[in-house]
């Protein structure tokens, strides 16, 4: 275990650049290979997690479609990372590694949101009316992913790249037990859950 931490600290010192500056040295040789290997490993880990998530029981198809779109995007990122090596331009490889890390940070909360969309505490009875509302406002191609958030007010993800047709709406998990969370003008089940014209 001690050897692991010594190797880790040596690699971090080597990546810091001259005189321990905060900014990494220009990657070349082994540090470039290390950055590329770590980037590939991070993207592969996310793809493995998405593969496990696809076995979950999604209550409606839009969340599964969003997960498939995220998977397809990261398969292309992995393909890009696999297509370069230490013989390529170091600046281009470094930028590719940074972009993949930025994308991972951006999409991880969304992947968690998709996992929570399968949880039984979500108000699944709201999916039909909210989906019709999204389609009436944004067009028939709109897809809704309803999930829970720990913020008290409803939460939305805006302008998610590669998921332009999706509406992500997180309702407060703290109110999951509240049957009066949504007010329906007509409590007739045919109007709530039956087919509706938009």
The answer to whether residues 106 and 136 belong to one domain is: no
The answer to whether residues 101 and 144 belong to one domain is: no
The answer to whether residues 134 and 55 belong to one domain is: no
The candidate with the shortest Cα–Cα distance to 82, out of 74, 5, 118, is 74
* pLDDT tens per residue across span 105-120: 999 999 999 999 988 7
* pLDDT tens per residue across span 110-168: 999 999 998 877 778 788 888 999 999 989 999 999 888 777 776 777 778 889 899 99
* pLDDT tens per residue across span 7-31: 334 444 444 443 333 334 444 456 7
* Residue at a domain's end among 53, 88, 116: 116
The answer to whether residues 79 and 32 belong to one domain is: yes
pLDDT, averaged across the chain: 78
SS (H, E, C) 75-135: HHHHHHHHCCCCCCCHHHHHHHHHHHHHHHHHHHHHHHHHHHCCCCCCCHHHHHHHHHHHH
Asked if residue 20 is part of any domain, the answer here is: no
Asked if residue 7 is part of any domain, the answer here is: no
The answer to whether residues 85 and 155 belong to one domain is: no
Q: Provide the whole-model pTM.
A: 0.72
What separation in angstroms does the CA of 128 have from each of 27, 148, 175, 189?
Answer: 52, 16, 19, 12
Higher pLDDT, 157 or 47: 47
* Residue at a domain's end among 100, 116, 132: 116
Mean pLDDT along residues 49-66? 93
Q: For residue 123, what pLDDT is reported?
A: 77
| Domain residue limits at 80 | 26-116
The candidate with the shortest Cα–Cα distance to 66, out of 118, 10, 21, is 118
């Amino acid at each position: 275990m001690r050897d692991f931490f010594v190797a880790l600290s040596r690699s971090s010192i080597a990546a810091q650049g001259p005189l321990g500056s905060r900014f990494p040295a220009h990657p070349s040789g082994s540090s470039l290979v290390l950055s590329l290997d770590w980037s590939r490993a991070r993207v592969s880990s996310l793809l493995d997690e998405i593969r496990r998530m696809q076995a979950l029981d999604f209550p409606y198809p839009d969340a599964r479609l969003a997960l498939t779109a995220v998977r397809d995007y990261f398969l292309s990122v992995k393909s890009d990372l696999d297509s370069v090596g230490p013989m390529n331009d170091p600046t281009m490889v470094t930028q590719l590694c940074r972009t993949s890390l930025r994308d991972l940070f951006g999409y991880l909360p969304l992947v968690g949101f998709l996992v929570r969309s399968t949880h039984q505490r979500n108000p699944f009875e709201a999916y039909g009316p909210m989906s019709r509302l999204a389609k009436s406002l944004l067009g028939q191609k709109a897809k809704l992913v309803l999930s829970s958030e720990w913020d008290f007010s409803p939460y939305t993800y805006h302008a998610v790249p590669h998921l332009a047709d999706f509406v992500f709406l997180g309702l407060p998990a703290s109110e999951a037990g509240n049957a009066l969370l949504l007010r329906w003008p007509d409590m007739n089940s045919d109007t709530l859950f039956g087919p509706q014209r938009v």
